[in-house]
Amino acid sequence: MVRDQIDRIGVVGAGTMGGGIAQVGATYGYDIVMRDVEQSFVEGGFERIADSLERLAGRDALPAAPDTIRERITGTTDTAALSDCDVVVEAAPEELKIKRDVFADLEDACDDDILLATNTSTISITSIAAGLEHPERVVGLHFMNPVPIMEGVEVIVGEKTTDEAVSLAHEVAQSLEKTTWEADDKPGFVTNRILMPWINEGIRAYDEGVASKEDIDTGMELGTNVPMGPLTLADHIGLDICLHASETLAEELGDRYTPAYLLRRKVEAGDLGKKTGEGFYEYD
Ligand SMILES: NC(=O)c1ccc[n+]([C@@H]2O[C@H](COP(=O)([O-])OP(=O)(O)OC[C@H]3O[C@@H](n4cnc5c(N)ncnc54)[C@H](O)[C@@H]3O)[C@@H](O)[C@H]2O)c1
């Protein structure tokens, strides 16, 4: 049984995704408790949320004033503060051990009828839930980056996840005006399984001299009607994140997911894309 009266949402992690999920939840009227491991990370999350809300307010894209939305979010470093949430979404770093520890702590802190969701991009939901007393209420709720802008959310069904938990996950995401689709707990789910080889092939095409980086991106944008070509998109996602996701998929699915040589070299050189000012392109 999962509780279906949702008033308060817990978010674990105040980084790129956790902050975005907290912001969108608050935008649609939920009370939010956002937890990170250090107060400075919580404050960083609030700063990014404030900036994003200001930008959206400037475009008249918010249903309430930024301050009203912001005040619905409580920051904390204490897992116990999540105990009165009706659903918790985890957006901690993409490492199985971290996620397992977070879920073990959530199981201790929260009632047994609380839906526990993970925003993982590539890790198996079943692996994250393994060892829990109640793995049946663990589900994947894969928001896309940037959360306030991207409309899609992938719902991922673990080996033990109940139909009830899956339905509630769809409902929660849809209440945030997101459109959902569902994937089985297979490596990469729908999005990253297909996106990562596409990005790696774009990088290989550039490295092997098929075309300039600009022409590869333009060719894919205009030739296949996607909003960003593979090199621009990789820079936006973060080259370290693309590398990590590709490595995880290669472990599970074999050689066709082997990361491109140039992706690895860029990450080794510290050029991680937009966030460091340089990836395949340079940024101010
Ligand atoms: N960034 C993306 O484009 C993207 C897109 C979809 C999904 N994801 C997934 O979302 C998750 C979070 O990614 P992100 O980009 O927001 O990472 P991030 O590094 O920006 O944020 C992670 C946050 O979690 C905090 N954290 C670490 N351990 C914690 C713990 N035990 N409890 C609470 N907080 C903890 C960190 O301090 C950090 O603030 C990952 O699983 C990632 O794969 C990321």
Does the beta carbon of 189 lie inside 6 Å of ligand 1? Answer: no
Question: Edge-to-edge strands of the sheet including 8-12?
Answer: 73-76, 31-35, 8-12, 87-90, 115-118, 138-143, 152-157, 179-184
**Which of 21, 24, 37 to mutate to test ligand 1, by most ligand atoms within 8 A of the CB atom?**
37
> Is residue 154 annotated as a catalytic residue, yes or no?
yes
Confirm or deny that 36 is annotated as ligand binding: yes
- Choose the catalytic residue: 134, 142, 170, 244: 142
In sequence order, the β-bridge partners of residue 117 are 89, 139
C-alpha 18/C-alpha 39 separation (Å) is: 15
Query: Is 192 in the active site?
Result: yes
In order of their start, the domains of the chain are: 8-184 (3.40.50.720), 191-274 (1.10.1040.10)
For residue 1, pLDDT beyond 80: no
Residues in contact with 258: Cβ distance below 8 Å, sequence separation at least 6, in sequence order: 200, 246, 250
Ligand 1 centroid from CA 89, angstroms: 11
Answer yes or no: is the C-beta of 12 below 6 A from any ligand 1 atom: yes
Separation of alpha carbons 167 and 128, rounded Å: 20
Q: Does the structure show a pLDDT above 90 at 53?
A: yes
pLDDT at 77: 98
Regarding the beta carbon of 92 and ligand 1, being less than 6 Å apart is answered yes
Query: What pLDDT is attached to residue 282?
Result: 98
Long-range contacts of 251-255 (CB under 8 A, 24+ apart): 252/187, 252/188, 253/187, 253/188, 253/193
Q: Name the pTM for this structure.
A: 0.94
Is there a catalytic annotation at residue 121? yes
153-188 residue pLDDT tens: 999 999 999 999 999 999 999 999 999 999 999 999
Mean pLDDT, residues 108-117: 96
Cα 13 to averaged position of ligand 1 atoms, centre (Å): 6
Tens-digit pLDDT profile for residues 16-33: 999 999 999 999 999 999
205-259: pLDDT as tens digits = 999 999 999 999 999 999 999 999 999 999 999 999 999 999 999 999 999 999 9
With a cut of 80, say whether residue 97 has pLDDT above it.
yes
Q: Is the dihedral of CA 208, 213, 215, 218 positive or negative?
A: positive
Of the residues 90, 154, 170, 200, which is catalytic? 154
ipTM of this predicted structure: 0.98
Report CA(230)–ligand 1 centroid distance (Å).
23
* 15 CA distance to ligand 1 middle (Å): 5
The pLDDT tens digits for 179-210 are: 999 999 999 999 999 999 999 999 999 999 99
Atom of ligand 1 nearest to the CA of 19: 16
Give the mean model confidence (pLDDT) for residues 112-136: 96
Rounded to an integer, the average pLDDT of 259-272 is 98
Say whether pLDDT at 4 is over 90.
no
Return the closest-CA partner of residue 72 out of 131, 26, 41, 35. 26
Cβ(239) – ligand 1 distance below 6 Å: no
The vertex-93 CA angle with 172 and 234, nearest 5°, equals: 90
Q: Is the pLDDT of residue 52 over 90?
A: yes
pLDDT at 2: 86
Whether 142 is catalytic is yes
Q: 5-41 as b/e, with b when 16 or more CB fall inside 10 Å?
A: ebebbbbbbbebbbbbbbbbbbbeebbbbbbbeeeeb
- pLDDT reported for residue 3: 84
66 token code pair = 């930024």
